[in-house]
Amino acid sequence: MRILKSFGLSFIILLIAGGWLATGTFVMGGQGPGNGETPIIGLIEGEEHGPIATALGDAGVLVEHSPETVEQARLTVAERIAQAAPSATGGVSVRTQNFTVQQMPLEVTLRGRTTAAANIAAVAETSGVVETVHVAKGDRVETGDLLCTLAPGTRAAAVAQAEAGLLQAQAGLAQAQLDFDTNATLRERGLAPANTASAVEVALAGARAQVSAAEASLDNARAELERTNIVAEVDGLVQAPIAVRGSMLSQGSPCATIVQLDPMLFTGAVAEANIGMARTGLDATLRTVTDQTAEGKVTYIAATADEGTRSFPVEIEFPNPDFAIRDGVTAQAVVQMGAMPGHLLPQSVLTLNDEGVLGVRAVEDGVAKFHEITIVSDTREGVWVVGLPSSVDIITIGQEFVVDGQSVQASQSAGSTSSEQGAPA
């Protein structure tokens, strides 16, 4: 008996619920009242206005939406508030802030890597056995520092022989000069014939030539001996390969390799869309993945684009006196291309209109007006945009609750910006 009562009660509840649902509507597509709606009783009957639906409609049970209700449902929140705003108050209250045109810095971000200015091999200018290696890998050297010393061999003896030859030639020159002076004195007194002058002049010229030849021989011998000392031609860090003591170096063989790290280069590429603004001498700020920073200038812009990327290789030179930034580190460079008029706005004032266009809502003569904008760059201070009047009162609070042409009560916020606060050109 209890089971029959429970089933009976459940059946009655189902009938009531089914009847209640049958008086509602079924919406397809989620388009709201008036769009895609179908009475559920119509689905059950298989036609829109069946006898049951007609009877329920006459009884006022079926849900029906008037044209006014449908139109109200389609309004946005801002449009509903605009309709509900009492005209006596002058419109919706909003807060505004004045923004004026500023000099907007034009910056182009490049990605690339650091590159040593040069990798220079300190080579032997003569052949010989390595007697001493004065540096190791990683050592910092300056121009003129000794890197390797070759065994002198017979070069010291060649210098001594050249010095002796020079002394002999100088003695011959002294004798030839004495003979020339004596002959001139005798000719003046008439004790020597006049035709003897040419002989002593030739002898003097020959002695002078022998001295010049002896001096050149001595210079060559000393230079050959000096070539046994291999020195650094630039400042930098010593890298492999490095010669080993006792090894034989022929002329042109490297003693050590020096990486020149000051100045340093950043190598990257400028997109073809920005190549028209690029030029040498532009200031740039460099930041590496190791969070090191440096300031430099653009020193080179390629005249031909890369075939694969259609971008133009560039080089930025920057000082690196302490060698803190190493060769081959991934880095990012921000190049200052100049400046142009723009507005610096907080991101909170940006909004979309009904068509999905990005812009801001401003107040002009007590009326709200939408201005379309274009974002040029995004910074920590805000977004730089173009497309606004030189001076504009932008709604900072309440912009989502007004529409174009709506009267508003605007109160000015503190902290309005001016062109004097902008970044320098």
Residue type, 199: A
Helix (H) or strand (E) holding 288: strand 283-288
As given in the structure block, the two tokens for residue 146 are: 């000794």
User: DSSP 3-state assignment of 59?
Assistant: coil
DSSP string, 60-86: T-S----HHHHHHHHS-HHHHHHHHS-
* Lookup result for tokens 């017979």: 154
With 90 as the cut, is the pLDDT of residue 3 above it? Answer: no
Q: Residues 251-263: what's their mean pLDDT?
A: 90
Q: How many CB atoms lie within 10 A of CB 296?
A: 22
**DSSP-derived pairing of the beta strands 92-100 and 408-412:** parallel
The pLDDT score that the predictor gives to residue 414 is 61
The pLDDT score that the predictor gives to residue 39 is 62
**Vertex 239: Cα angle to 234 and 240 (nearest 5):** 130
Q: How many CB atoms lie within 10 A of CB 226?
A: 13
How far, in Å, CA of 394 to CA of 313, rounded?
Answer: 42
With 80 as the cut, is the pLDDT of residue 336 above it? Answer: yes
How far, in Å, CA of 105 to CA of 337, rounded?
Answer: 8
Confidence class of residue 18 from pLDDT cuts 50, 70 and 90? low
With 60 as the cut, is the pLDDT of residue 261 above it? Answer: yes
The pLDDT score that the predictor gives to residue 74 is 58
304 half-sphere exposure, CB direction, 13 A CA radius: 3
With 50 as the cut, is the pLDDT of residue 421 above it? Answer: no
Confidence class of residue 296 from pLDDT cuts 50, 70 and 90? very high
The pLDDT score that the predictor gives to residue 79 is 58
The pLDDT score that the predictor gives to residue 150 is 92
Q: Residues 36-43: what's their mean pLDDT?
A: 59
User: Mean pLDDT score of the chain, rounded to an integer?
Assistant: 81
Give per-residue pLDDT as tens, 175-200: 989 988 888 888 888 777 878 888 88
Q: Cβ(102)–Cβ(344) under 8 Å?
A: yes
With 60 as the cut, is the pLDDT of residue 268 above it? Answer: yes
How far, in Å, CA of 147 to CA of 157, rounded?
Answer: 24
With 60 as the cut, is the pLDDT of residue 419 above it? Answer: no
User: DSSP 3-state assignment of 421?
Assistant: helix
Give per-residue pLDDT as tens, 103-154: 888 888 899 999 998 888 899 988 999 999 999 998 999 999 999 999 988 8
The pLDDT score that the predictor gives to residue 24 is 54
Is pLDDT larger for residue 400 or for residue 86?
Answer: 400
The pLDDT score that the predictor gives to residue 361 is 93
Share of the chain above pLDDT 90, in %: 34
User: DSSP 3-state assignment of 360?
Assistant: strand
**Whole-model pTM above 0.85?**
no
Q: Residues 259-267: what's their mean pLDDT?
A: 92
Confidence class of residue 275 from pLDDT cuts 50, 70 and 90? confident
With 70 as the cut, is the pLDDT of residue 81 above it? Answer: no
As given in the structure block, the two tokens for residue 21 are: 């649902």
Q: Residues 220-245: what's their mean pLDDT?
A: 89
With 50 as the cut, is the pLDDT of residue 285 above it? Answer: yes
Calculate the alpha carbon distances from 39 to 22, 70, 268 in Å.
8, 16, 66
Confidence class of residue 75 from pLDDT cuts 50, 70 and 90? low
Cis peptide leading into 241, omega within 30 of 0? Answer: yes
Residue 335 CA, chain-centre distance (Å), reads: 6
The pLDDT score that the predictor gives to residue 199 is 86
Residue type, 76: T
Q: Which domains are seen in the chain, by residue range?
A: 2-74 (no CATH), 83-104+341-421 (2.40.420.20), 152-227 (1.10.287), 257-340 (2.40.30.170)
The pLDDT score that the predictor gives to residue 180 is 85
How far, in Å, CA of 421 to CA of 65, rounded?
Answer: 56
As given in the structure block, the two tokens for residue 153 are: 């061999």
With 70 as the cut, is the pLDDT of residue 280 above it? Answer: yes
Q: Give residues with Cβ within 8 angstroms of 305, minimum separation 6.
A: 272, 275, 311, 312
How far, in Å, CA of 108 to CA of 294, rounded?
Answer: 16
User: If you average pLDDT over each of 178-192, 226-240, 407-421, which comes out highest?
Assistant: 226-240
Q: Residues 3-8: what's their mean pLDDT?
A: 64
* Closest by Cα among 375, 368, 367 to 350: 375
The pLDDT score that the predictor gives to residue 422 is 40
